[in-house]
Chain A
Amino acid sequence: MSIQVIGLVGMIALVALIFLRVPVAMAMGLVGFFGYASINGWSNAATVLGQVPFDMASNYTLVQIPLFIVMGDLAMRSGMSASLFDAARAVFVGVRGAQAFATIGACAAFGSVSGSSVATAATMTRIAMPEMRRTGYDDRLSTGAIACGGSLGILIPPSIPLVIYAIIAEQSVPKLYAAAMIPGLLLTAFYMLSVVPIMALRPSWIPTEHDRMSWPERLRAVAKAWQAAVLFVVVLGGMYLGWFTATEAAAVGAFGAWLMGTLSRRLDLKSTLASFSDAIQTTCMLFTIVFSAVVLTYFVVLTQIPVVLVAWIKEWNVGPVTLMILMMVFYILLGCFLEAFGMLLITVPVFLPVVVQSGFDPIWFGVMLVIVIELGLIHPPVGMNIFVMQAQLPDVPVTRLYQGILAFIPAPMIMLGLLIAFPALAMWLPNFLFPPR
């Protein structure tokens, strides 16, 4: 059996195991181990499997993951998410659809201190949903705005998937964060614009706005969100001003979130410990997947599947843009079955060489990948944001949740199209901040 055939059998086994409800990490690790053993022998496979956890768990760059997770959790527990929602509501109050705009805006703002879409969606469900119900918004619009707005959490820096991509693709985290900034803001605007056609086509979903706030009240509400703004500016500003590295920025952010929460008396010892416990468990779940993905990568590299794929695509004679469109369609389909991190970790080792060979920048591709992963978080059947929301809103059937999302789906599609047509949307800022030598 040729190594490519072994590789193909391995990939089929991987998909089968995942569908058979084997945890994604275990499926990747086992296929990686047995695949590697079938080509290079048991002893070498055991060496790889035995060494990877030691190498990965003591990788300095990966320290950012628990630090950004705990920063987001502490920010949520210290009430920053609620302040952000109030501030966003004060900005849009009086406009029809204000609560929907505010929810999306608050999601984007909370994404700038959280780094996780699921955490953003879960937090905003608790904060925005009762308010939207109180003011008479249809549940479909409310949940759609929260689920889609929540997905911005992984695009707007800091972003956990971008850190993981940076490690697998051997790219710079600050460059990736810079590249994601403009697309993140644009996508926020597109999600907000998605509310406009709903107003015309489903007017009953959006009540006529009755809430009013005076200008001083509005300014006070916006000013109350200062903590999140300070955190964002210090963490990202410090990184780009060269005050500290990405990992140090994450530590400063985690400490800053704890300090501000403690000083404002919103965080006590109990909630701090609960935050640490939750952050550790999320980190461990992610690291288990990362270890296994690295084992799988050893196998994938050995099978030369990426090399064969590059040669195969060259034979097709398709242009790079067509190739990228096909790749994105593939990712959207893959998002129907795989969750975000599995998608990222399984496909990047295979596709990245193809992407680079076709002349695309890996930094730009990282941003494309995160947007397409965002789509996977909200479309059926494995929309993690939907599952998280349904757990908190058991009275809203899944079908209604998906109905609400439909109107927002074109936004990330348009963003992907714009990024393919104008790569500078992602590449301008990193090139400006880190000029190529």
Chain B
Amino acid sequence: MTLLAKLNRLLLAVSATALIIIIVVTLADVLSAWLRGRPITGVYEVVETALVYLVFLGIPETFRNDQNITVNVADHFLAPPAIALLRSFGAIIAVCYMALLEWSMISPALDALKFGDFKSESGIPFWFIWAPILLGTAFAIIGSAFVMMRAVRSRASASE
């Protein structure tokens, strides 16, 4: 297993923990509403924060496994070298898009850190939510680059 795969697995484990937290905290809230007649304060915000961890720390593995939905209608009428070329093109665009996304998120993330914003009920600081977003997107860029290199290599072998 490569270092990237190991790191992605580690992030995926944190993502799975976030999923467990969502289930447990939501169930506790439902039980509290039944037993005490009132929900637990801040549960919504904890669940929202856990969702960010679930999604963004899971994204790198999704990108590394090339699981993004692609429409492959062109495959039915194009030759293998042309399909390989399109695959490479799609992979390059994915890297560019994720890099653009990461770049555009740096400024609001730094603002959150600078101004010390936090969630009103639970007091969760916004930087704690931005951290997995930036980390996960950075790993997704690396995962996309991995897919891109694989696509370019397969294109080279298809041309031969």
Interface residues in chain A, defined as those with a beta carbon under 8 Å from any beta carbon in chain B:
17-27, 29-30, 33, 46-47, 49-51, 53-54, 57-60, 62-63, 66-67, 70, 243-244, 247-248, 251-252, 254-255, 273, 276-277, 279-281, 283-285, 287-289, 337-339, 341-342, 381-382
* Contact partners of B138 in chain A: CB under 8 A: none
Complex-state Cα separation, A27 to B94, whole angstroms = 9
Complex-state Cα separation, A341 to B68, whole angstroms = 12
Instruction: Identify A252's interface contact among B12, B16, B27, B62, CB under 8 A.
Output: B27
Of residues A25, A59, A63, which shows the largest number of chain B Cβ atoms within 10 Å of its Cβ?
A63
B70 touches A247 (CB 8 A): no
* Contact partners of B106 in chain A: CB under 8 A: 50
B71 touches A338 (CB 8 A): yes
A62 touches B93 (CB 8 A): no
**DSSP majority for the B interface?**
helix
B114 interface contact, C-beta 8 A: no
Instruction: Identify B68's interface contact among A17, A26, A58, A255, CB under 8 A.
Output: A26
Return the chain A residue nearest B108 by Cβ.
A50
Return the chain B residue nearest A287 by Cβ.
B55
* Contact partners of A244 in chain B: CB under 8 A: 30
B59 interface contact, C-beta 8 A: yes
Complex-state Cα separation, A20 to B83, whole angstroms = 9
Complex-state Cα separation, A381 to B75, whole angstroms = 11
B68 touches A276 (CB 8 A): no
B30 touches A252 (CB 8 A): yes
B104 touches A49 (CB 8 A): yes
What 1/0 flags go to B65-95 for Cβ under 8 Å of A? 1011111111010000001001101100110
Return the chain A residue nearest B66 by Cβ.
A23
Instruction: Identify A281's interface contact among B67, B72, B108, CB under 8 A.
Output: B67
B149 to chain A, nearest CB (A): 16
Complex-state Cα separation, A342 to B72, whole angstroms = 14
What 1/0 flags go to B117-141 for Cβ under 8 Å of A? 0000000000001100100010000
